[in-house]
Amino acid sequence: MMQTTRRTLLALGAAAALPLPAFAQAYPTRPVRVVVPFPPGNTSDILARLVAEEMQSRQGVTVVVENRAGASGALGVQAVTGARPDGYTLLVTTQSPLVVNPPLTRNLPYDPVRDLAPIGVFARNGFILVVSPNFPARTMAEAAAVLRAAPPGRFTAANPGLGTMSHLAMELLGLSLGTKIESVPYRGSAQALTDLAAGRVDLMIDGFASAVPQARGGTVRALSLIQPGRSDLVPEVPGLAESGVPELAAIEALSWTAMLGPAGTPPDIVAWWVDALRRVMSDSGVARRLAQTFIQAFPPDAPDAFGREIAADLAKWTRVVRDARIEPQ
Helix (H/G/I), strand (E/B), else coil: 157: strand
State pLDDT tens for residues 155-186.
999 999 999 999 999 999 999 999 999 999 99
Q: Residue 84 carries which side chain, given as an amino acid letter?
A: R
Give whole-number Cα distances, 6 to 10, 72, 284, 286, 291, in Å.
6, 37, 10, 15, 14
Pick from 221, 230, 213: which is nearest to 292 by CA?
Answer: 213
Tell me if residue 313 falls in helix, strand or coil: helix
Which pLDDT value is given to residue 5?
37
Q: Tell me the C-alpha distance between 131 and 76, whole Å.
A: 35
Strand, helix or coil at 117?
A: strand
**Considering only CA atoms, which of 246, 241, 251 is closest in space to residue 170?**
251
* DSSP letter string, 197-246: HTTSS-EEEEEHHHHHHHHHHTSSEEEEESSSS--TTSTTS--GGGSS-G
The 10s digit of each residue's pLDDT in 259-294 is: 999 999 999 999 999 999 999 999 999 999 999 999
Pairing of strands 116-131, 203-207: antiparallel
| pLDDT at res. 25 | 55
Look at residue 26 in the predicted model and tell me its pLDDT. Answer: 85
- pLDDT tens for residues 201-246? 999 999 999 999 999 999 999 999 999 999 999 999 999 999 999 9
pTM score, two decimals?
0.89
User: What percent of the chain shows pLDDT beyond 70?
Assistant: 92
Residues in the chain: 329
d(CA 292, CA 22): 36
Mean pLDDT throughout 297-315?
A: 96
- List the one residue out of 164, 208, 207, 210 whose CA is nearest residue 184: 164
The domains of the chain, with CATH numbers, are: 6-125+255-323 (3.40.190.150), 127-248 (3.40.190.10)
